[in-house]
Amino acid sequence: MIPINILDSKIIDEHYEGICKYFSPDKLIEINDWLSQYNLDFEKLIKAKPGELRSIKKRIKTGKSANWQSQIPELIKDTYSNFSKYSQNKYCGVNLIANLQIKVCPYCNRSFIHNFKKDEKIKRSSQTDHFFPKGSGKYPYLALSFFNLIPSCYSCNHAKGESKIDLSPYEISSADDVLTFGWKPKDAAFNYPKGNVEITPNVKPEYKEQMQSNVDVFGLKELYDHHDDIVKEMLLKGEIYSPDYIQSLVEQFPDLIENEEEALRIVTGNYTEDEDLGKRPLSKLTRDIARDVGFLKNKKA
């Protein structure tokens, strides 16, 4: 999983202000009246951080036992449909994706999810997962909350559906915090560095309970089994290249290669710095294997 880092808190304010415009002043008063019984208001609901969202959903009961005596939760959920559609005149899902500057699905790091323009309209190659599901009987009142909206690829959004996962991309600061990819020979016939390999997503012990649900729900082990060719290429590159060779590229081609990071990107075919892993698919896998084979240094070691 790749973290979603908020580089500028102003985008949260923009989200709240944009969401408010989907409701009339009278409706906003009704919403705040309903929320007041839970010591909340609409701004707190929309801006609530992941930990606060967990607290809110405990306060506001859901399901058959809920006694809302109000249509407000369904109103918020139904308004999400308008927010998710492209609008030239209103803040919408397209703006959220653009503001977050996310190019690759943070759940799987396998698919591009950026916006593009076609027929004078902005299209989305992403969907938006509700970390806490918005369905009736679930958490419809969280349908527009900033930190409950996770830009994701079609595969991850549909794999998750209304399943429960325990860790949000907003809750980690580094891609290495929760999981690293490793590899092992698939059979006895393996002849390093060539042969059949198995990719192993290794969850960090301190996140075992939280992150394992993500691995299982999204089928990360099964999905990454299809990328064994990437691992085999990295094993070969590990035999061919060394850290000294990487550095020599910078020295030999100073007009073409600016620094060691750029040289590594050329050799690995991907980004390797933590803050860049959301720019290109499979960057996390590529970096982890590059570290394992030795030509990319582990800065945390």
pLDDT digits (tens, 9 = 90+) for 148-169: 999 999 999 999 988 889 999 9
Phi, psi angle pair for 150, to nearest 5°: -115, 110
pLDDT at 131: 96
- What average pLDDT does this structure show over 243-270? 91
For the ranges 57-61, 262-266, 282-286, which has the lowest average pLDDT?
57-61
For 167, residues 6+ apart whose C-beta sits below 8 A from its C-beta are 1, 178, 207, 210, 211, 213, 214
Q: What dihedral angle (degrees, nearest 10) is formed by the CA atoms of 60, 61, 62, 68? A: -70
Is residue 5 packed enough to be buried (19+ CB in 10 Å), middle (13-18) or exposed (0-12)? middle
Q: pLDDT of 192-233, one tens digit each?
A: 888 889 999 999 888 888 888 899 999 999 999 999 999 999
Helical H segments across 60-205, by residue range: 72-84, 93-100, 154-160
pLDDT band, residue 299 (cuts 50/70/90): low
Mean residue pLDDT across the chain: 89
pLDDT at 230: 93
For the ranges 134-138, 237-241, 255-259, which has the lowest average pLDDT?
134-138
- What average pLDDT does this structure show over 173-186? 91
pLDDT at 177: 87
CA 116 to mean position of chain CA atoms: 19
Structure tokens at 217: 């729900």
Q: pLDDT of 38-89, one tens digit each?
A: 999 999 999 999 999 999 998 887 544 455 567 899 999 999 999 998 877 8
Does 272 or 300 have the greater pLDDT score? 272
149-152/179-185 β-pairing: unpaired
pTM above 0.85, yes or no: yes
Cα 4 to Cα 167: distance, rounded to the nearest angstrom: 12
Q: pLDDT of 85-109, one tens digit each?
A: 887 789 999 899 889 988 999 999 9
Q: Does residue 300 register a pLDDT over 50?
A: no
Does 124 or 183 have the greater pLDDT score? 183
Residue pair 43/145 in contact (Cβ under 8 Å)? The answer is no
